[in-house]
Amino acid sequence: MTGPIPLGELVALRTRHPEAIAEAAARRVRRPLIGDSGRLMIVAADHPARGALAVGDRSLAMANRLDLLERLCLALSRPGVDGVLATADILEDLLLLGALEGKVVMGSMNRGGLAGAAFELDDRFTGHRAQDLARLGFDAGKLLLRIDYEDPGSPATLHSTARAIDEMAALRLPVFVEPFICHRVDGRLRNDLTADAVTRSLAIASGLAGTSAYTWLKVPVTADPDDMARVMETSTLPAVLLGGAPGAAQEDMYERWRLALRLPTVQGLVAGRTLLYPLDGDVAGAVDTAVGLLRPPGRH
């Protein structure tokens, strides 16, 4: 669906027929995680549930739910887009709109570490549980793992992350782990994107839980993109690249993605605001550019 969102219909269904969500999930046409292209292109929209609503200098850009849903429906309609990553509320809106047919649906599992909060690193599993994803027939889960060596709460985060991976593996559901080494600078949490820090975070994430059979890594491009080949030698787990916020250097980001996507363990891309809120406003164009980066050299 790419036209105006029928707000009244959505609200009526949620008000009078909440069971419509489970019914839509039960009849949804599913597909394998990896399709014919052999790559994975996922649009991410799990930011609002962590209170992260800003895009560039617009502090509440993602707060307009109808606008976000229209952008998501447009992105999902573009050729080469495999699916979406979001929290329950957004995925259920998309289910009711019929936008998830034949798509990979990835539920966001931990959103308790609210952006900018003193407890931001206490990133509890307040989103999808493994059993929720299985019950709804969704295809995968995603969790965020932020580790601060100076924060005594990080061991609890590691423990809860490991148990969530175990629960997903028990149900044979892929789980995408997005790890970061973090530091507080002037009271604000910052992700360390140096090669050494990203390497260390991948090593830690790869070894969590009783099995890594269903674990994927969701990896940032390092501050120096020339370091990515060395960083990705840290693990044999399949990986996807994560996106970031749009900015003046968006073309540079595309080039960094293009280079990293040639590495053997990198299987695809999960990007959100860069594609949904591009500086020029052309969502379809941004999505199509990202899809094009996934094609092998010489293939159009």
DSSP conformation letters of 221-269: PPSSGGGHHHHGGG--S-EEEE-----TTHHHHHHHHHHHTTSTTEEEE
Query: Which amino acid does the sequence have at 114?
Result: L
Report whether 251 contacts 290 (CB < 8 A): no
The residue count for the chain: 300
For residue 2, pLDDT beyond 80: no
Which of 19-33, 142-156, 229-243, 246-260 has the least mean pLDDT? 246-260
Q: What is the mean pLDDT of the chain?
A: 93
Strands 239-242 vs 104-108: parallel, antiparallel or unpaired: unpaired
**pLDDT bracket for residue 297 (50, 70, 90):** low
pLDDT at residue 300 in the model: 47
Report whether 145 contacts 138 (CB < 8 A): no
Q: Can you list the domains of the chain with their CATH numbers?
A: 38-293 (3.20.20.70)
pLDDT at residue 6 in the model: 85
What residues contact residue 261 under an 8 Å CB cut-off, 6+ apart?
Answer: 39, 241, 268, 269, 293, 294
Q: What are the tens digits of pLDDT across the range 197-239?
A: 999 999 999 999 999 999 999 999 987 888 999 999 999 999 9
Q: What are the tens digits of pLDDT across the range 19-61?
A: 999 999 999 999 999 988 899 999 999 999 999 999 988 899 9
**pLDDT bracket for residue 175 (50, 70, 90):** very high
Mean pLDDT (whole number) for 283-299: 85
Report whether 41 contacts 81 (CB < 8 A): yes
What residues contact residue 272 under an 8 Å CB cut-off, 6+ apart?
Answer: 43, 44, 45, 46, 47, 85, 243
CB burial of residue 152 (10 Å; 0-12, 13-18, 19+):
exposed
Structure-token match 């061991």, residue found: 155
